[in-house]
Amino acid sequence: MGSYLLAIDQGTSSSRTVIYDHATSVVASAQQEFPQIYPQPGWVEHDPEAIWASVRAVTEKAMHDAAASAPDITAIGITNQRETTLVWDRETGACVYNAIVWQDRRTADSCRSLQLDGHEATIASKTGLRLDPYFSATKLAWILDNVDGVRARAEAGSLAFGTVDSFLLWRLSGGKAHATDASNASRTMLFNIHTQQWDDELLQLFNIPRQLLPDVKDCAAEFGVATDPCLGGNIPVLGMAGDQQAALVGQAGFESGMTKSTYGTGCFVIANTGREALESQNKLLTTVAMRLNGEVTYGLEGSVFVAGSAIQWLRDEMKIVGSAPETEAIAQRTGVVDDVIVVPAFAGLGAPYWDPDARGAILGLSRGSGSDQVITATLQAVAYQTHDLIAAMADDGISPAVIRVDGGMVANNWFLQFLADILDTPVERPVNVESTVLGAAYLAAFTAGVLQSSEQISSNWRCDSRFDPLMSSDQRTKLLNGWTAAVSRIRANG
């Protein structure tokens, strides 16, 4: 049955393939960026062929570097940028339009009119999502309504819709498999997270022909057999999950209350809420965290649009640091900043504010303020925004005992200590901070029988460093009051 697992992580800016042995040690890994397309302000697209070519290239390279051929690989797991929407021809496999990326805002008006027509509550109660262009439904409707001839072809059953997971599965299987998993389906806004079915009322509301939709399976399931020549043989696809849900699996977040926070370009927090689909009173999202053996585990999710990208801003626009890792030593020597406050609301504010028109600011400058204060305050801002999410979760009844972190920014020890201080909660960084792609490998390993239980994943999880809160409650309160005041000054729709 082979001794390796192959995990594909198709992200927003790059594609990656990692080959693991059965003990989930990395054997080989390859990554490739692909172009972003910005046809108009607020529009973001990917060329589906560029996505596919990059996945093929990194898969071929990782297999080459591991000196692996198809029979050496037990199973494939796929994780992906979520919500991004594709439509392709079932005969030719050609897409009818570029992939409309999750960040794309072109359907803001159609969301607004659905809201005015009073559909928000129904949508929220069925899908756990907020009526926002972020999710797939209005993007899919846009393709049907704006690309010549597409609606008629969709109604005739000759087209297929998918998020990136389904698209890759279709291509890998040579057009034989059209399926998705429940975690990806839960981000389309067409899937009822309580019944675990595509929802007829939602399909009608968004005017989506049912013939377009993929089958929805567990995250660990038999999705199909990959036969693409880039693999040099046949390998079953046995795991699938959206990137944030895969990270929760990679972090072994199987028990209710367990919470992971991923710090890449943005920050995404998911708390496992067990069998309960907790409805947020604080504008957080309810989502399928995972579905294994037919059992759904729900999650509460919140995100901060700007996390690591604020550090890129310091480097690329402000030009006050040479590289992201330098911020650690600068913050170390500067210490906690309590006068200067950076609010990096470059793209509005996400949960729990949902204020798309807010913009960033630097407040509290005095004659002595310099770049070191601004850099340190930017790291602090990422922690404050995490605090706002975690506080919203706590208000909804979920208070994690520990936060498990991953993503590129968690290399920064100063940031993690400050995060623990501001959250007043211990923060743990695992040895393997690549939780997303690891989660995809775990899911495939489950179906293949390489892993028999989630306990094996839990015991596999190793802590690299734990950061315990050390800050006095007076200082924490003072800092958070300063932050809250700063946020209220920059909000457009406060």
Q: By CB under 6 A, what part of segment 2-41 binds ligand ADP?
A: 11, 13
The pattern of x and - marking residues 212 through 251 that bind ligand ADP according to CB under 6 A reads ----------------------------------------
Tell which residue, 348, 370, 350, has the closest CA to residue 359. Answer: 348
| Neighbour tally for 8: CB within 10 Å | 27
DSSP state of 447: H
Does position 80 bind ligand ADP by CB under 6 A? no
CB of 372 to ligand ADP, least distance (A): 15
| Among the listed residues 37, 57, 324, 347, the single contact to ligand ADP using CB under 6 A | 324
How many residues touch ligand ADP under the rule CB under 6 A: the total is 17
Does position 183 bind ligand ADP by CB under 6 A? no
| Among the listed residues 185, 311, 383, 389, the single contact to ligand ADP using CB under 6 A | 311
CB of 244 to ligand ADP, least distance (A): 11
- Give the β-pairing of 14-21 and 197-198: unpaired
CB of 143 to ligand ADP, least distance (A): 26
Tell which residue, 214, 186, 205, 198, has the closest CA to residue 129. Answer: 186
| Among the listed residues 110, 173, 309, 373, the single contact to ligand ADP using CB under 6 A | 309
In the block, tokens 């990554």 appear at 31
Stretch that binds ligand ADP, among 83-91, 178-186, 222-230, 407-415 (CB under 6 A): 407-415
DSSP state of 238: E
CB of 80 to ligand ADP, least distance (A): 12
Answer whether 479's CB lies under 8 Å from 427's CB: no
Within 358-452, residue ranges assigned H as helices are 371-395, 413-423, 435-448
Nearer to ligand ADP, 48 or 407 (CB): 407
| Neighbour tally for 25: CB within 10 Å | 8
Answer whether 114's CB lies under 8 Å from 131's CB: yes
Nearer to ligand ADP, 180 or 327 (CB): 327
Nearer to ligand ADP, 9 or 104 (CB): 9
Nearer to ligand ADP, 192 or 378 (CB): 378
Answer whether 286's CB lies under 8 Å from 279's CB: yes
In the block, tokens 């192959």 appear at 6
- DSSP-derived 3-state class of residue 260: strand
The pattern of x and - marking residues 326 through 355 that bind ligand ADP according to CB under 6 A reads -xx---------------------------
Contacts of 386 (CB under 8 A, 6+ apart): 261, 267, 269, 304, 419, 422, 423
Within 99-177, residue ranges assigned H as helices are 108-116, 120-127, 136-146, 150-155, 164-172
Nearer to ligand ADP, 129 or 331 (CB): 331
Does position 412 bind ligand ADP by CB under 6 A? yes
The pattern of x and - marking residues 253 through 272 that bind ligand ADP according to CB under 6 A reads -----------xx-------
Angle between helices 371-395 and 473-490 (to 10 degrees): 90
Q: Which residues bind ligand ADP (CB under 6 A)?
A: 11, 13, 264-265, 308-309, 311-312, 324-325, 327-328, 407-409, 411-412
